[in-house]
Amino acid sequence: MKNYIKNFLKKNLSKDNYNKILIVVSYFNNFIFYINFLFKKFKYKNIKFKKIKSNLIIISQVQRSGGTLLSQLFDSHPQIHSYPSELKLTKPKFDWTKKMNFVTFYNDPLLVSSAKYNNYKKDGSGIKAHLKNTNEFKFDFFLQNLIFNKLKIKNNLKENLSAYFTSFFNSFKNYKNLIGHKKYIVTFLPRFVLMDENINLFFKSYTNGKIICIIRSPTSWLASCINHSDEYKKNPINTLMLWKMNALMTLKAKKKFKKNVIIIDFKDLIYQTENTIRKICKEIKINYHENMRRPSFNGERIRSNSSFKTSFGKIDKTTLKREINKKYYKQCDAMLYECNYIRNDILKFKI
């Protein structure tokens, strides 16, 4: 019925009037959502929840390098709690030296929007009109806040992260993987390895934690970035400088923390998915499961976060064939050569 009304209005109204109606409906939905959030404080008296104190794995790489994909491959593993979104606790999200805010409702617009429409999706800028799947996401933000406030400990990062993940997964109302012992929580955070302070804070709290770094070819990475955002298109040299800085910091972290930093090649993840995932499982000492070959959300197929044509419930192998315009080669030839040289050095340490 909703789609019928939407299509009817679209056909019978001017584009300007149709967009005005959409804005009004959006404001109304937001108003109802916020009112429900505020009034839920009268709902809860005795809260029961499962405490989560698993070790932490952070997938970190420069953006557009497969972090979303890898986290989705861990999604329904019985030994893993896989956090579905980027771990946004600070502003900017990749700087853990800033004050941490553990209230997801105010930190993560993607999760708020997903809960509001009961549909989780993390879409890139790629073509996706042909994919109309729904990934049900029922989440109680107020319950999460209550649980976190019961468990938080001042000035204790590890305990507060455990409190946060406990509150998150217990408030994910249709979460299918809550029961059973979990060895790890897996989350991802682009650019996390760019700062020494982040890595030191992480390993101080999680001495047996892991950071998984994905290294993508700078050429196909630049093609994805340019297609993803005008910000990266304006100055491709600066864009590649970000790749270079992330790569050098990854190499530094690997040499310092050795087995606690795991390096994988994006090409291996795409072309040799099962073999690469088996190697990761061996490194972190968990069992391999067949469901790790396909990206999913809460056990259901999900569409990809692509800058090009979006795929659904599978790994798109065309990501390795991205080409940049010849004019960018002329601008970036020397920087691409340098980045590829660094990439070859890092991949000596890949699993």
Q: Where are the domains of the chain?
A: 1-43, 57-349
- CA count, 13 A, side-chain hemisphere, 217: 14
Residue 25: predicted pLDDT = 65
pLDDT in tens, 56-91: 999 999 999 999 999 999 999 999 999 999 999 999
Q: Are strands 300-301 and 55-59 parallel, antiparallel or unpaired?
A: unpaired
Residue 125: pLDDT band (50, 70, 90) is very low
If one counts every other C-beta atom within 10 angstroms of the C-beta of residue 152, the result is: 15
Select from 58, 72, 87, 65 the least CA-distant residue to 247: 65
What pLDDT, on a 0 to 100 scale, did the predictor assign at position 216?
A: 96
pTM of the model: 0.86
Strands 184-188 and 55-59: parallel
> In the numeric block, which tokens belong to residue 176?
């299918």
Mean pLDDT check: name the lowest of 152-156, 249-253, 286-290, 305-309.
305-309
CA-to-CA dists, residue 49 to 96, 153, 168, angstroms: 27, 18, 11
Closest to 115 in 3D by CA, of 5, 40, 21, 3: 40
How far are the Cα atoms of 9, 13, 17, 24 from residue 20, in angstroms, in the given order? 11, 10, 5, 6
Structure token digits, residue 137: 């996401």
Please give the residue that has the higher pLDDT: either 27 or 85. 85
User: Are 44 and 146 in contact, with CB atoms under 8 Å apart?
Assistant: yes
Token code pair at residue 216:
């993508």
Phi, psi of 273 (to 5 degrees): -60, -55
155: left (phi over 0), alpha (psi -120 to 50) or beta: left
CB 68 within 8 A of CB 305: yes
Q: Quick check: 132 pLDDT over 80?
A: no
Rounded Cα distance, 262 and 193, in Å? 12
- In angstroms, the CA 192 to CA 94 distance is 5
pLDDT at 127: 47
CA distance 227 to 125: 8
Q: How confident is the model at residue 44 (pLDDT cuts 50, 70, 90)?
A: confident
Q: Number of helices (H) and strands (E), helices first, in the chain?
A: 14, 7
* CB neighbour burial string for 155-173, b if at least 16 within 10 angstroms, e if fewer: eeebebbbbbbbbbbbbbe
Strand, coil or helix: what is 329? helix
Q: Output 307 or 62, whichever has higher pLDDT.
A: 62
pLDDT of residue 128 exceeding 60, the answer is no
The C-alpha angle 145, 146, 151, rounded to 5 degrees, equals 95
Mean pLDDT of 177-187: 97
pLDDT digits (tens, 9 = 90+) for 316-350: 887 777 677 767 777 899 999 999 999 999 999 99
Residue 188 forms beta bridges with which residues?
59, 86
Phi-psi region of 180 (alpha: psi -120 to 50; beta: other; left: phi over 0): left
pLDDT at site 100: 96
Tell me which CATH homologous superfamily contains domain 57-349: P-loop containing nucleotide triphosphate hydrolases (3.40.50.300)
Question: Between 300 and 12, where is the model more confident?
Answer: 300
- For the chain, give the percent of residues with pLDDT over 70: 84
CA dist., res. 303 & res. 297, Å (int): 9
Calpha distance 104→88 (Å, rounded): 8
What is the average per-residue pLDDT within 16-40?
68
Beta bridge partners of 261: 211
